[in-house]
Structure 1
């Protein structure tokens, strides 16, 4: 049995027990477009267990209103505003109606969080909270470095780290700046610009050569979270001897593979992410396109340089 979660006056809590097959139909108002959608369409992740394979409807993250509930699903009502957690189930978000796992659907009722912000930021913020707390074991007073600081996933880490008590949050970007109100202490253009600064945790959604270069700014016992491959470099490797000599760790985290086996993690992570949104710590930039321009959304992501997230509306 999986627990199905919704927000109550006391936060996101289990509202009912449902089977793994239980679903909720959502009238989609916003669907997020991510690099994972691009990789799936390109066939780069073909034959990976649990991931959709062509032919299929793309889209892993949606926000909208409950249209209908499957057998055994309670705790939601028709018309209730909700969003689905990133990587929580089969694709299908690029549509006017999506059917998602009830176990990983979260209510927005009473949160005052806009659905566009919810789908743009909260699923990724859930990923960030889980990665920092359950994988990197981030502690208050530690220092965080985020590579590719303005990317859709990267940009939620500073807000989550702030709530976790980070001493400092620094980012890198190709421009050396951030054009939003993301809560970074500093954003630099490359690793060399960090000088003598050292970091307890490095978040890497970029990969490639930048991954190796970042080892030099990690503190002893530092942990690097591997959460993406925005560089599109699938052959780069890191010297394990460098990890050994430097007392360093590389930790991979794929939320889509993690959540099905750990549904109990969704409630506290979603509550934490919603708190960050309510406190203004997730000020993501968004671009909104009509669903008919989904191909254009993919072209923009493939070209690179998209700060924040692209959303589709039916």
Structure 2
């Protein structure tokens, strides 16, 4: 089967298409025939060696890419052969990822595909939806939450989920995205830019109870949080100094098939474009250029 891997770190040009044996599922696992795999920023960080430098991925001769998968069960346990499923690959130091024709996952990392959507659409859900939900759990707030990068894939889901919990949501994004972000459920909108803390505090005196910093603004977002509040970071090394007694958390995403099934039934997929697996390097270039609303999806 074909798969996309990296053997050395660098730009999109280091992505290699290789022929490898079709993987066999072990106990408690399923083999999925991949129909679609989303492209996420973490894939770019893996390819560039950033996660290895940060100590998140140990040195490996070969690394597979791709966390999100949608496809059909071919073998294994926990699901029937032929079931349409989605899943999350959270073991990222393996030689095969979702950028492939087949993928083996633990059955506990897999959920039934949501009804009424294509595999391409379904593939955009696992990583982004679970990250948003697990980050919101860490925030442990029933009051006001700030979401930076609210027009992005994770940020948009965070806004929607926070709104559904009855929280007052203050969203930060480009001024051009205000209508989009308010449509996700934001109660207040603050355009990104300097003096973020001052502008948020003008809307929420004393500061918000919690911040989900999906845009990695660090201290700028921390300044918008009240003393003793909550701050959730989304990337290795992106946690600021815990000023004013603010409790700092880091969301380390984990696969959870049961939770994924619940989220997939309520959150809308967000597709930016679809490319063949052979154009993975093009997808990486486009994601790095920014400006996308939704995820690029690769199809074998």
TM-score relative to the length of structure 2: 0.77
Picking from 284, 289, 295, the partner of 1:303 is 289
Corresponding pairs, count: 264
1:220 deviation in Å? 3.5
- Listed one character per residue, the Cα deviations across residues 239-260 of structure 1 (whole Å, up to 9, x for unaligned) are 44xx2xx33121111114xx5x
Bigger mean CA deviation after superposition, 156-165 or 57-66: 156-165
Equivalent residue number for residue 120 of structure 2: 116
- Listed one character per residue, the Cα deviations across residues 279-299 of structure 1 (whole Å, up to 9, x for unaligned) are xxx353432112121101111
Equivalent residue number for residue 8 of structure 1: none
The 3-state SS of whatever aligns with 2:161 is: helix
Picking from 91, 103, 127, the partner of 2:108 is 103
Picking from 175, 187, 190, the partner of 1:188 is 190
Question: Measured at CA, do residues 283 and 76 of structure 1 come closer, stay the same or move farther in structure 2, by a change above 3 Å?
Answer: closer
Structure 2: 5+ residue runs without aligned partners?
1-24
Question: Measured at CA, do residues 60 and 239 of structure 1 come closer, stay the same or move farther in structure 2, by a change above 3 Å?
Answer: closer
Equivalent residue number for residue 150 of structure 2: 149
Alignment of 1:184-223 (within 5 A): 184-190=186-192, 191=196, 192-194=198-200, 195-197=202-204, 198-207=207-216, 210-223=217-230
- 2:153–2:295 CA contact under 8 A, matched in 1: yes
Equivalent residue number for residue 5 of structure 1: none
1:40 and 2:43 aligned: no
Structure 1: 5+ residue runs without aligned partners?
1-18, 260-264
1:118 deviation in Å? 2.5
Give the whole-Å Cα distance in 2 for the aligned partners of 1:289 and 1:22. 32
Equivalent residue number for residue 24 of structure 1: 30
CA RMSD of aligned residues (A): 2.7
The 3-state SS of whatever aligns with 1:77 is: coil
The 3-state SS of whatever aligns with 2:184 is: coil
TM-score relative to the length of structure 1: 0.74
Picking from 64, 71, 75, the partner of 1:68 is 75
Give the whole-Å Cα distance in 2 for the aligned partners of 1:266 and 1:215. 32
The 3-state SS of whatever aligns with 2:291 is: coil
1:150 deviation in Å? 1.6
- 1:40–1:52 CA contact under 8 A, matched in 2: no
- 1:160–1:276 CA contact under 8 A, matched in 2: no
- 1:204–1:228 CA contact under 8 A, matched in 2: no
The 3-state SS of whatever aligns with 2:73 is: strand
